[in-house]
Copies of this chain bind each other. A is one copy, B any other.
Amino acid sequence: MMKLMAKRAITPGPRDERGVLAARILAAARDEFAQHGWAGSTIRAVARAADVDPALVYHYFGSKEGLLDAATNPPQKWLESVAKVWTTPVDQLGAALITLLLASWADDEIGPTLRAILQTAAHEPATREKLRRVVEGSLMGVSGLGTDERERLVRSGLISSQMMGFALMRYVWKIEPMASMSDDEAIAAVSPNLQHYVDGDLTTGS
């Protein structure tokens, strides 16, 4: 990140300006979606919050749908973190997954993007489809999960259900004491349940 910033400072230009403005517009869009929902958000309000002309938002993103699509695209560094967590030994995956979740939401680019996905997925078919791809795409590379394709999907779906529910309670709905419990307490409480979905017996109900 430092390296990237330095490079930009040395060679400013139209392309860099576009990147900076686009990032500012996307951050404003995520804020706007978070506050007013997708249907209640307007290009005009996003442009005002980003301090740019609405025409520039259309020029960069084409439409409100294009803006939502870009604003909910998982950042590359998050995809890399997800890929890395899957190199964890299977018997430690539960703890690694909840640790990744906590770190991701604390990040000032990844957190707002995940929030925008969760908040719009409830009623926007396009974002729901993206959520589905994120869930499946980020979990299906995992060779250690299950013995066949369906079991792998069941296990990754169950893992996601716990991680999504935890993230909603803690970060989106901010329900206490989930919202303010320490990372250590969260890791100790949730790890064993994620581990059960990773490699536990899912057929006995006990």
The 7 closest A-B CB pairs, nearest first, are A165-B165, A39-B40, A188-B205, A161-B165, A119-B122, A189-B202, A193-B193
Given A122-B172, A193-B193, A204-B188, A178 and B165 touching (CB < 8 A)? no
* Minimal Cβ-Cβ distance residue in B for A95: B205
Complex Cα spacing A168 to B136, Å = 15
Besides the contacts A37-B122, A160-B165, what 19 more A-B pairs have beta carbons closer than 8 Å?
A: A37-B37, A39-B41, A40-B123, A128-B173, A132-B175, A135-B175, A153-B176, A153-B177, A154-B177, A157-B177, A160-B169, A160-B175, A164-B165, A164-B168, A165-B166, A188-B203, A191-B205, A192-B205, A193-B196
Interface check A49, CB cutoff 8 A: no
A-B contact pairs, 13 of them (CB 8 A): A37-B39, A39-B40, A39-B41, A122-B168, A122-B173, A132-B173, A153-B177, A164-B168, A165-B165, A165-B166, A187-B205, A188-B203, A189-B202
Interface check A84, CB cutoff 8 A: no
Q: Using a CB-CB cutoff of 8 Å, which residues 1-60 of chain A contact chain B? A: 33-41
Interface check A162, CB cutoff 8 A: yes
In the complex, which residues of chain B have a beta carbon less than 8 angstroms from the beta carbon of A166?
161, 165
* Minimal Cβ-Cβ distance residue in B for A41: B39
Q: Contact at B187–A197, with CB atoms within 8 Å?
A: no
Q: Which of B131, B175, B177 contacts A175 (CB 8 A)?
A: B131
Closest approach, in angstroms, between the C-beta of A74 and any C-beta of chain B? 16
Q: Which of B124, B177, B197 contacts A193 (CB 8 A)?
A: B197
Q: Which of B40, B153, B163, B202 contacts A37 (CB 8 A)?
A: B40
Interface check A190, CB cutoff 8 A: yes
